[in-house]
Structure 1
């Protein structure tokens, strides 16, 4: 039976070892990550989450005003705690660069992958976001993405 955290949104389950697709948006959809150097700071925080055992990143793309992150939740981790950590660390690091008090909207959207879903297709969907948004003509021209499958 999946564990429920006390601060999880009603109906949200946090199941260690499960694959999640998360989307979280910047406050007022400000394009804070349009500068790839700022986006690289968020990449470092995602990598640190992996190194700490909170997550195992399968794919991500950092769009100018939001993050799509496909990852396996760490065995001793809670989904809300991981997101609080990632959003908190990135806010502390990036907010001062823009004179802001926080960079993220409250909450996040999550999708827990089902056993019958093709994770590689989910990863392709994630990293193709810059193409669909018309930001680049080919994925290799966009600097803020990665996927273990590609």
Structure 2
């Protein structure tokens, strides 16, 4: 799959909820570094192009459940990835996100709470912790 394949059929709708995943370049687990993970979390919190409903920062990727507030989804992803790259670059100069992202626009019948639970349970499924309370890099408005 190429970056152009990811863009085919992609469009953005304001106030639409999206489940988005983006990864580090070559899936390098750079977010195991506490300072890097904290910086990514802070970038998520200050983003204004979307409202986060749930998110988790994993060692090599980020999951977001968001509501698009302005611009396009592509612009929102460019904003969050660009801001976090600049800020993490001061800690880890070779840090890079992989190109593109994966998204799924939620339909009315889909359960946002179920998707939020899936997102925040990621560290459990990855065996990073045995209790989600032990993992510091997540948040959800539902839980």
Q: Same fold (TM over 0.5)?
A: yes
Instruction: Indicate conservation of the 8 Å contact 1:19/1:71, yes or no.
Output: yes
Instruction: Indicate conservation of the 8 Å contact 1:32/1:64, yes or no.
Output: yes
Query: Which residue is 1:91 aligned to?
Result: 85
Query: Which residue is 2:67 aligned to?
Result: 72
Query: Which residue is 2:52 aligned to?
Result: 57
Query: Which residue is 1:109 aligned to?
Result: 102
Query: Which residue is 2:3 aligned to?
Result: none
Number of corresponding residues: 138
Query: Which residue is 1:144 aligned to?
Result: 137
Q: How far apart, in 1, do the equivalents of 2:139 and 2:102 lie? A: 20
Instruction: Indicate conservation of the 8 Å contact 1:17/1:72, yes or no.
Output: yes
Q: How far apart, in 2, do the equivalents of 1:96 and 1:38 lie? A: 10
Q: CA deviation at 1:82?
A: 0.4
Q: CA deviation at 1:87?
A: 0.4
Q: Which TM-score applies when normalising by structure 2? A: 0.92
Instruction: Indicate conservation of the 8 Å contact 1:36/1:143, yes or no.
Output: no
Task: Find 1:45's aligned residue among 24, 43, 46.
Answer: 43
Runs of 4+ in 1 over 4 A off after TM superposition: none
Q: Which TM-score applies when normalising by structure 1? A: 0.88
Give 5+ residue unaligned stretches, structure 1.
1-7
